[in-house]
Structure 1
Amino acid sequence: MNSDGDFLKTEEIFWNKKYKKIFNNKYTIIYCTDGTVLKAMNGLEATDDLKKIRLKNISGIFPIQ
């Protein structure tokens, strides 16, 4: 979970402490506090605060206001 309340679910995650990055090659779901749900079928690369995220093979649900 980051400071905004966004969090992710996955089977496996790796953390590069030196570069403050997280990554994997597994199915990952990210839940955002604004209701956005992002699904990465083939993993992700992100900063460890989830501010910058690169998803691989993505789908998602975005709220319309």
Structure 2
Amino acid sequence: MSAVTPIAAPTATSTDILRDQFAGHIINALIIAPRQPGIARLDVDGMARSAYEYADAMLRARSP
């Protein structure tokens, strides 16, 4: 049996972690948002993309 070399996980920066935390909170809001007449809900991939777009905007707003 040969030894398996583990693959190193990418190192996350504090900004990456904060971005993921923001996106996690945002997607919760997107999932529970009430349906509105005439407005189509996003699919799961669309919600994920939107969550990260909002998270990126929040990070930009924090920058001086």
TM value normalised by structure 2: 0.25
Q: Which has the higher helix share?
A: 2
Q: Which has the higher strand share?
A: 1
Structure whose CA Rg is larger? 2
**Greater RCO, 1 or 2 (C-alpha within 8 Å, sep 6+):** 2
